[in-house]
Structures are given as structure tokens and as C-alpha cells.
């Protein structure tokens, strides 16, 4: 599991202050579908997944983040809370390799299937975070 140590203290801190969706709870219900270990595809996927988890940490712990984890969960699943008995399946984090060079496409979701599709062409964590934030905010705009 990736999520163990660096965020533990911050989580205690947040948990005492606010009763919100916790990063661990969100990561627990996600499953990344990595390609064969050691392949170039897999390396690219791990980079993007790291950017994704960094983005989630930012949403969870950065007071200046425009989004919180509820916004992310809403974007992926259409609901702000994890149901008491859980979703009908894990959230599948899938990686898209089929984009053209210089593609600018956004992450997409299938809320019923609980799929999050992440193109692998975002250059770094900052780019990923900006794109993910924009995607979620655009979605919120349409939602209400
Ligand atoms: Zn693309």
C-alpha cells in the first residue's frame, strides 16, 4: 500500500478538526489497473498515479486547495460520501495510452461503472493537478 506513512500525522490533525472524507478511506476503495510490472507502460502509469495521489493529498491537507476529497469523490462517483456498505465495486483507475502526441485531453469518469480514466500524457504533478482541478470544477458547474 502506498498511503501509509507520510500523511499519517496530518490525517490525525484533520480528523480531529473536521469529520470529512479521509484520504485513506478514498484510497482504500480505489484500485489502479497497472500494466505488466517493469514495462514502459507500467512506468508511465506509476508516474501518473503518483501525480494522482499527490493531487489527492493536496485536496485532503492543503488549506489553499480549491477542492476537497468530497469534490473528487463526487466527480468520480456522483456522490459525496462513501455509502455505509460501500460502493458496488472498487473505483477502477485506468490509464489511457492511446492518445496522439501533444494530446490535451482531460481525465474522464464513468460514474456508474466507477471508472476513472487517466491519460498518461501529463508532464508533471503540477500539470496533472491543474488539469484535474479544472476537470472537477467544470463538472461541478454542469452538475448543479
Ligand atoms: Zn489525451
How do residues 43-67 score in pLDDT, each as one tens digit? 999 999 999 999 999 999 999 999 9
Residue 69 pLDDT more than 80? yes
Name the residue among 67, 76, 42, 63 with its Cα closest to residue 130.
67
Q: How far is the CA of 79 from the centre of ligand 1 (A)?
A: 26
Q: How far is the CA of 57 from the centre of ligand 1 (A)?
A: 24
Is residue 109 one of the residues assigned to a domain?
yes
CATH number of the domain within which 115 lies: 3.30.2410.10
- Alpha-carbon distance of 123 to 136, in angstroms, equals 19
Into how many domains does the chain fold?
1
Domain extent at residue 75? 28-143
Is residue 15 one of the residues assigned to a domain?
no
Q: How far is the CA of 13 from the centre of ligand 1 (A)?
A: 37
Is residue 93 one of the residues assigned to a domain?
yes
Is residue 86 one of the residues assigned to a domain?
yes
Please state the pTM of the whole predicted model: 0.83
Pairing of strands 115-119, 91-96: parallel
Amino acid at each position: 500500500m502506498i498511503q501509509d506513512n507520510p500523511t499519517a500525522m496530518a490525517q490525525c490533525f484533520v480528523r480531529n478538526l473536521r469529520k470529512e472524507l479521509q484520504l485513506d478511506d478514498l484510497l482504500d476503495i480505489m484500485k489502479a489497473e497497472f500494466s505488466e510490472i517493469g514495462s514502459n507502460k507500467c512506468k508511465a502509469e506509476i508516474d501518473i498515479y503518483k501525480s494522482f495521489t499527490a493531487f489527492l493529498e493536496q485536496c485532503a491537507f492543503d488549506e489553499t486547495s480549491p477542492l476537497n476529497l468530497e469534490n473528487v469523490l463526487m466527480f468520480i462517483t456522483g456522490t459525496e460520501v462513501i455509502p455505509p456498505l460501500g460502493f458496488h465495486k472498487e473505483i477502477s483507475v485506468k490509464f489511457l495510452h492511446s492518445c496522439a502526441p501533444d494530446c490535451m485531453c482531460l481525465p474522464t469518469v464513468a460514474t456508474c461503472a466507477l471508472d476513472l480514466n487517466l491519460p498518461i500524457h501529463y508532464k508533471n504533478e503540477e500539470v496533472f493537478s491543474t488539469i484535474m482541478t479544472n476537470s472537477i470544477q467544470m463538472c461541478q458547474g454542469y452538475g448543479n
